[in-house]
Structure 1
Amino acid sequence: MLKYNGIAAIGAAIGMLNTILTWKLFGATQTADIWLIGLAVVSILSLLVLLGVEQFLVFYTSILTQRPDYAASFAFMAMIWSLLSGGLFALGCFWMVDLLVSWFAGGLSEGAKQTAASVLVLLLPQVAVAPSLHITRGILNAQGNYGRSYLLALITPSALLSVLAYFSVVGGGGVLQLGFTVAVAAFLQLGICYTMVFRCLITSWNAKLMKEFRDFVVNSVTMRIGHSFHNLFVGLIINSTLSHQAIGMISIFQYAKRFADGVFTVTIGPHVGILLARQASAWPDRNYTQYKKNIKVYLRTISPLFFGSAILVFLLIPMLLEMMPRDGAEHAVGAIQITYAIFTVWQGLIALEAVFVGVVTTARRSFILWGINCLFIVNFYLFSKYISESSPVWYLVAAAIFAQLISVGCFGVTALFLAKKQFYSSTLGRD
C-alpha cells in the first residue's frame, strides 16, 4: 500500500512547486488573489458537478462482483452520462459566471472582478471533464489500478507547472495565460480518460441495467447533495470573508491551504480512495473482520506519514518561499506558516472523519450526510461571524476546526450505530 504514497508524493511535489512558482510570479498581491480564488471556485464547482456520479464506485463494484458480465455496459452508460452532465453543468456556470464571482469574491474591486470572471471562464473546461475523470478513476480503482488512477489526475497540475516554470525563467506571463493552459490540459485529460476505458466504450447501452443506472444516479444525487452543500457554502464563507479583507489575505490563506493539501495528498488522499474501494466490497458481504482490518490498516498507515510530513513542511515553508523572494512580502511568509500549521489540525480531523463518512457512504444513508454537513455549515458560519476584517487569516481556519470537531463526533456516533446494525443484527454476518 505504501507504494502509492510514492505516486502521491509526485503529485504533492508538483502541487507545491506550483505554489512556490505562483508565489514567485505574483506574491501576495491582488493578481495572486484573483488567480488563487479562481482555482478555489473551480475546485468547488468540480466537486459540485459530481452530483450525478458520486456513487459510481459503490454501484460498479457491486455489479463487478455479483454480475461481472454487465460491468462493461454499466461503465459505458456511466461514461456517457458523465460527459453529458459535465458539459451541461459547465455551460450553466458559463452563463452565470458574473454571479459566481460576486458570490465568492464580492469584496474585490470592479476591475479585479472582471479579470476574475475571465479567468473563471478559462478554467471551466476542468469542471466539464470532472465527472468523466471521476468515472474513469472509479473503474481503475475497482480493478486495482490505483497507480494509473492517481497519475491520471496529475495531467492538469503538470501542464500548469511547465507554464509556471517557463514564465519564472523568461519573465512575463499572467493569469489569463495560466487559465488557457488549464483549459487545454482539461481537454487532453478527457481524451486520455476515454482511451483508458476504451474497452467499455465498444459495448452498448443495456436496458437490463436501467434500474441499477437510475438507482446509481438518484443515490449519487442524494449522497452528493450533502457534500456539495458543504463544499459550496464553506467555500462561500471562506472566500467571501477573505475578499473583504486587505489585498493579499486570499493569497495567504490559499498558499497555506495548498501546502496543507500537499501533505494531505501524500499521506491521506490515496489511502482514502483505497479504503472506500475495499469497504465497498466488505460491506455488502457483511465481512466485519475485513471491514475492521481495512480501517486499522488505513489509520496505521496514514498516522506517521501525516504527522511527520506536516512537521517537515512546516519547517521548510520559510526556506521554500524565501528562495523565491518577493519585495515587501516578508510578513506574508510568517502568516502563511502559521495558517498552514492550523490547517494541518483541520485536515487531521478530516482524515479521521473519513473512516466514519465511509461507513455512512457504503450504507447509502444520504440523509445523515445532509444533516451533519448542514450542521457544520451553520456552526462554521456562526463562528466566522466573530472574525473582523482586521483579524489574522488563521482565525478563519480555527473557526473551521471548532465546527469540524462537532461534525466528527456526530459522524462517529452514527457510524458506530450503522456498523453495529450491519454486522451484528443479522445472522448473515460473519467474522
Structure 2
Amino acid sequence: MPAHIPWPHLASHRTWLDDEARRLLAFGSAAALPSTAGTGGGAAYLDGAGRPDPAHGVQTWITARTVHSYSLGHLLGVPGSGAVADAALAGLTGVLHDDAHGGWFHAVSTDGEPDVAAGKSAYDHAFVMLAGASATIAGRPGGADLLAEATAVYLERFWDEETGRPVDTWDVSFTSLDPYRGLNATMHSVEAMLTVADAVPDAEAGAWRERAARAAAFVVELAATHDGRLPEHFGPDWAPDLELNADQPGDQFKPYGATPGHGLEWARLLLHLEAVSPDPALLATAVTLFDRAVADAWAPDGADGFVYTTDWAGAPVVRTRMHWVVTEAIATAAALVERTGDARFARWYATWWDYAARHLIDREDGSWHHELDTANRPAATVWPGKPDVYHALQATLIPRLPLAPTLARALREGLLR
C-alpha cells in the first residue's frame, strides 16, 4: 500500500468500519439470555451461525465481554444494544454471582449449576470489572453497583500490592490460592483498570492507573529480557515457567511458548497507558513487541496469517490462525499510526484488514471465523463456533478513537471520528 494512502485516516474507510461494527453487533445480539426462562440472564456462547450453544453453558468472561461490547453499542447509538447489555449484566448479578462466598463463578450450566471445579480467576474477574466500568459509563441500570462490587472483590482477592500484579486463581470459596501466576490475567487486568479509571471519580482514577502502570512495568522488563517474546506462565514468585504445557501446546488459556497475539495486545495497552501516564519506555516496548510478533508469527510458513504460538527461538508451534490475533494486530497498528504517524504501521494495518476480508469475515453466516487452519480454511480445533464479538468489534472502533480515554469514555465524550 502506498505510504500516501493512510487507511486509518480515510473517511470512506471509517464508514466501512462503522458498517462492520453494526454487522457484528447484529450477529452477537442473539447471545442475550432472558432472565425469566430459568437461566438468570447472561450471555450465551454462540455457534458458527450465531445461535446459542447450550453445550458451553453460561460463562462469566463471555457474559462480561458482552456487557462491555453492547455498552459500546449503546454508546454508538445502535438500537437494541442496551437491552443486550442489560440481559448480560443480569447474569452477572444473578446466576453467575456467588452469593455465598462473593465474586463470580467461572460458568454455570444451562440448568444453573455452577462450575465449582474451575474456581475463581483473575481473568474472569478482570472482565467483570471491565463490564461494570463500561456499563457505568454507558449509564446502564445496575452498572455502577456492579462496578463497585467487582472492584472491591478484585482488590481484596486478586490484586497483590506487594508485586504490583494479580494472583491468578482461587478455589470457589476463596480459601486456597493456586501457585500459578499468569500474564494473560495481568493483561486483561490492565485493560480493565484503565477503563475503571475512566468510570470512577477523579479522586480514585489515579490509583487505578498507577496499578496498571506497575503491571505494565513488569511487561517492559520481560520484553527486554526475552527478546520481545513474552513469557505467559509463572510460579508464585513470578519466575517464568517456559516449558508449561509443552505436552499440550494448543491449550485454550495456557498455551505453551510465546503467544504473539498477546505481544500485540500488550503493545496496544502500553500505548493507551502512555497516553495517560507518560513514560518513554512504553512506546519503545510497544514497537519492540509489535516488530517481534510480526517477524515471528506473520506468514512464517508461506501462507498469510498469524500462527498462534511460537517457541522461544521464534519457530511456530501451533500454526492454527486465530481471528483474535488479527484483530489485535489491526488495532495495534492503528494505535501506532495514531501515536507515531509512521507509514509502515499504516501499511500493515491495510494488509491485515485485507487478510480479514479475504479469510476471516464471514459474509454468509455472520461475524468472523474464529479459527483457520494453515491453509486459511475455517477450523475448530481450539475455538469452535463464534463465541462473542468483543475482539472484532474493538478492531472497528480503535482506529476511529484517540488513545485516551478508553473506548466507552471516548464514545460517551463524542470522540468517534
- The normalised TM-score by structure 2 is 0.31
- The normalised TM-score by structure 1 is 0.30
Give the number of the structure whose residues are more often strand, by fraction.
2
Bigger Rg, structure 1 or 2: 1
Which structure would you say has the larger RCO, counting Cα contacts within 8 Å and 6 or more residues apart? Answer: 1
